[in-house]
Amino acid sequence: MAKRDIVVIGASAGGVQALKELAAALPSDFNASIFVVLHVSPHSPSYLPEILNHSGSLKASHPKDGESIRPGHIYVAPPDHHLLVEYDQVIVKKGPKENRFRPSIDALFRSAAYSYGSRVIGVVLTGLLDDGTSGMWSVKRLGGVGIIQKPDDALYPNMPDSVLQHVDVDYQVPITELAPLLCQLINETVPDKHSNLDVDMDRMETEVNIAAQVNAFEMGILNLGDLTPLTCPECNGALVSIKEGKLIRYRCHTGHSYTASTLLADVTTTVEESFWKAVRSLEEAVILLEQSARQFAEGGNEAAAHQFSQKALETRERAAKTRNFIFQQEKISEDMAVNGLAAPQHTQ
């Protein structure tokens, strides 16, 4: 019999404080390996390992690709890289983004579930949107334990709320009770293997390999789901839909992955950008029309000057109406933010 010795943790907005509290409460003899994905900006360094080292007794670091897994160590995903686990090694790769993020919580959880099954404890903490929901489904599907930070205890409850809506989690706890629970769980024995449908294992293997930079198209990603009329906001590739319990996800043939909520947030952003481009084009037309009207007036062609001035006024009205559409669209985005569907903020 094995023990639960792989702990995977995902957090986003508000996650630094939650992770600091957890690190401070974990004992120095914690006999399991901890892997953390925190959504951070891809363009600046992350100081989370240093923060956690100053907060608790366990050593934290950004691992190198191929580094051996050690118990009692906290492995933190470096910026703009997926953190995966496989064959008792840490894998650090720049595979396609999932839910617009690299590192991705789902990618980490999925790789741990595929490699370690019932030995995995998945933990989703505070954050916006729903990264971590699909990953937690994989953890539970292959016999692991699912834990969320109690939503009313989370600074941003959307991520744990999403998991709660789509996955049958085992525990909901405030951050102050997480360390004692983990200490209890890692001392329990579990079956070495967990039997499940081969189709789930095959798809998970493919998706883990995609995150590890293997060519998604060559691996037949388009055969892993139902082809949809939707396109990827990142690369405009064709999207297939993948069903995981109550959750619907999407992957494009180049490898990018989205939940429905994240895809909707990106589509909303694209709509707003299109409106702004239309406003820019209309206002450029106004500039050109007004310049032409002045030139005709200076040349004594009053009829042409009047015609161009009228066209300029009509175009100004069209630009104003288009701006109003933008503000209506932004109101929709604000409503989505209230429900956890707006674009997440990068935190560090």
pLDDT value of residue 129: 87
Output the pLDDT for position 30: 98
pLDDT at position 347 is 39
Active site residues: 12, 39, 131
pLDDT band at residue 341 under the 50/70/90 scheme: very low
Quick count: other Cβ atoms within 10 Å of Cβ 195?
Answer: 10
Reply yes or no on whether the pLDDT at 342 is more than 50: no
Average pLDDT over residues 9-26: 98
How confident is the model at residue 188, as a pLDDT?
94
With bands split at pLDDT 50, 70 and 90, how would you rate the model's confidence at 344?
Answer: very low
Q: Can you tell me the mean pLDDT for 255-278? A: 87
Average pLDDT (308-322) is: 95
How far apart CA 282 and CA 233 sit, in angstroms, is: 25
For residues 319-335, average pLDDT: 73
Q: Which long-range contacts (CB under 8 A, 24 or more apart) does 87-91 make?
A: 87/115, 90/35, 90/63, 90/64, 90/65, 90/66, 91/65, 91/66, 91/212
For the cut 80, the answer to whether the pLDDT of residue 333 exceeds it is: no
pLDDT digits (tens, 9 = 90+) for 105-161: 999 999 999 999 999 999 999 999 899 999 999 999 999 999 999 999 999 999 999
Q: Is the pLDDT of residue 238 over 80?
A: yes
pLDDT recorded at residue 103: 97
Lowest mean pLDDT of 57-61, 171-175, 220-224, name the range. Answer: 220-224
Give yes or no for residue 348 having a pLDDT over 50: no
Average pLDDT over residues 244-268: 89
| Per-residue confidence (pLDDT) for residue 88, from 0 to 100 | 93
* CA atoms within a 13 Å half-sphere pointing along the CA-CB vector of 272: 15
Least confident segment among 22-36, 110-124, 263-277 = 263-277
Under the banding of pLDDT at 50, 70 and 90, the label for residue 345 is: very low
Q: What is the mean pLDDT of residues 166-193?
A: 94
- Residue 334 reports pLDDT greater than 80: no
Residues 236-263 as b/e (b if ≥16 CB within 10 A, e otherwise) read ebbbbebebeebbbbbbbbbbbbbebbb
pLDDT confidence of residue 269: 81
pLDDT surpasses 70 at 311: yes
Q: Is the dihedral of CA 169, 171, 15, 109 positive or negative?
A: negative
The tens digit of pLDDT for each residue in 185-208 reads: 999 999 876 555 566 788 888 999
Confidence of residue 346 (pLDDT cuts 50, 70, 90): very low
**Mean pLDDT of all residues in 320-342:** 65
Q: What percent helix, strand, coil does the chain show, rounded to 5?
A: 45, 20, 35
Mean pLDDT, the chain, rounded, equals: 90
Nearest in space to 163 (alpha carbons), one of 29, 345, 340: 340
Whether the pLDDT of residue 44 is over 70: the answer is yes
Model pLDDT, residue 196: 54
Percent of the chain with pLDDT over 70: 92
Backbone angles phi, psi at 10, to 5 degrees: -125, 140
Task: Provide the 3-class DSSP secondary structure of residue 29.
Answer: coil
